[in-house]
Amino acid sequence: MKGIGLGVVLAIAGLALWLTTEEVESSVISLHKAGLILAIVGAAEALFALLGIGKKKAKK
């Protein structure tokens, strides 16, 4: 359950960052692109945590 919660939080934070920083310019990193990557990683983590729970229940 910890992985699902962390993934959802990362996905929401990344989505918020992606939607709100399109016009913000930074000299080192594009916050808009970083938000998109964070949202994708968070969603993937939540998905893999759900798949792990599904595998554990299927083995029982």
Domain total for the chain?
A: 1
DSSP string, the chain: -HHHHHHHHHHHHHHHHHHH-SS---SS--HHHHHHHHHHHHHHHHHHHHHHHHHHHHH-
pTM of the model: 0.84
**Contact of 22 with 4, CB cutoff 8 Å:** no
pLDDT in tens, 4-58: 999 999 999 999 999 999 888 888 888 999 999 999 999 999 999 999 988 888 8
- Count of residues in the chain: 60
Domain of 6 in residue numbering reads as 2-59
**How crowded is residue 43: how many other Cβ atoms within 10 Å of its Cβ?**
17
